[in-house]
Amino acid sequence: MDVLVRLADRAIRRLCAPPGLGMVLVMLAFAATPPVALRFAGHVAGVTGLALLIAAWRAPRRDLRHSTLWARLGAEAESLARLVAGGVVQAQLAKTLQARLLWHAERIGALAMALWAASLLAGVPPFARS
């Protein structure tokens, strides 16, 4: 069970790395106006959290045999799939993936709210025109 959690966390973190890098680079580009940089970072984090929520909603109904998680299980996945009838391994993998996606979405949502709050405290109204 810990192997599935570890593999799911690694896969999710690899998927969240490009939006995180983009968020940091754009924040550096907007370094002259910190409130705008914080607001944009909040938007990117919010969209990333929403994407994780959608992925968690779809996880139980997805065929995970062609996913990175299944590939990471390697030879064990094939032997487990042959031994266990009725897709129990895939169901357990989907359940673990859904739980870990929700866990990560909660953390990213909290980050988005913190960034939005910081941008409001920095002094720029949310719908101000430049």
pLDDT tens digit sequence for 97-114: 999 999 999 999 999 999
Residue 42, domain member (yes or no): yes
The verdict on residue 59 lying in a domain is: yes
Residue 45: inside a domain: yes
What is the residue range of 55's domain? Answer: 2-121
Q: Is residue 126 part of a domain?
A: no
Q: Which helix or strand (DSSP H or E) is residue 105 part of? A: helix 88-121
Q: What pLDDT, on the 0 to 100 scale, is given for residue 101?
A: 94
Q: Does some domain include residue 52?
A: yes
Q: Total structural domains in the chain?
A: 1
127 belongs to a structural domain: no
- How many whole angstroms separate alpha carbon 16 and alpha carbon 36? 22
In a domain, 97, yes or no: yes
Q: For residue range 63-87, list pLDDT tens digits in order.
A: 877 787 777 777 565 555 555 555 6
Q: Within a domain: residue 18? A: yes
The three-class DSSP label of residue 40 is helix
